[in-house]
């Protein structure tokens, strides 16, 4: 029996609250689920603009200075569709209660479809590193550099800002790699 990646992601999300561990008083939380809207601009092709919009689902399970994370993206447009998921493990810490440096390694799979052309599926590694910082209790920023090794090796960046109220955060982000730019708005629930 082949285990679907959707089942694996759902299992991870459901296991998070069931396996809750005490976490220190750090304002940076590593155990959460999030979902949001995304607007992808993948540049130009022979058929015109490659733009699509859709949603993403993701989560992270953190313990001590390690975390496991996963995300699934789904976008559809008139001339372009993209499906992507990644799952990885990483390390975080060093900067105290209000900030963390982090690094993780992930497996990534991406499928792109343009009507009238064969779909392209690529998979490979993803290396991410960045800083999450909460200068005040209600506000968080996240800056990240990443390197993805799909068909072409590409360096990119991701910037996010969030407002936290209790365990819920509302945020916006920007991701850019090569000619692909993605804007997001999202909600996050922190488990502890």
Burial bucket for residue 39 (CB in 10 Å: 0-12, 13-18, 19+)? middle
Per-residue pLDDT, 120 = 86
Tokens of 60: 């992270």
Q: Cα(174)–Cα(31) distance, rounded to whole angstroms? A: 22
pTM of the complete model? 0.78
Q: Tens of pLDDT along 155-185?
A: 999 999 999 998 999 999 999 988 788 899 9
Q: DSSP string of 21-50? A: ----S-SS---EEEEEEEEEEEEEETTEEE
Tokens of 18: 């069931």
Domains with residue ranges and CATH for the chain: 5-190 (2.40.128.100)
């Amino acid at each position: 029996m082949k285990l679907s990646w959707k089942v694996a992601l759902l299992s991870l999300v459901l296991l998070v609250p069931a396996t809750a561990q005490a976490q220190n008083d750090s304002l940076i939380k590593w155990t959460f689920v999030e979902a949001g809207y995304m607007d992808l601009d993948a540049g130009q092709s022979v058929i015109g603009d490659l733009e699509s919009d859709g949603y993403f689902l993701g989560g992270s399970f953190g313990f001590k200075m390690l975390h496991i994370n996963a995300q699934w993206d789904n976008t559809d447009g008139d001339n372009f569709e993209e499906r992507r998921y990644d799952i990885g493990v990483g390390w975080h810490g060093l900067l105290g209660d209000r900030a963390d440096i982090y690094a993780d390694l992930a497996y990534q799979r991406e499928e792109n479809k343009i009507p009238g052309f064969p779909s392209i599926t690529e998979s490979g590694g993803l290396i991410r590193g960045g800083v999450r910082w909460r200068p005040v209790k209600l506000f968080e920023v996240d800056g990240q550099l990443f390197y993805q090794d799909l068909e072409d090796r590409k360096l990119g960046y991701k910037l996010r800002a969030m407002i936290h109220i209790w365990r819920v955060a509302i945020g916006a982000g920007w991701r850019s790699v090569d000619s692909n730019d993605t804007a997001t708005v999202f909600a996050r629930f922190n488990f502890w």
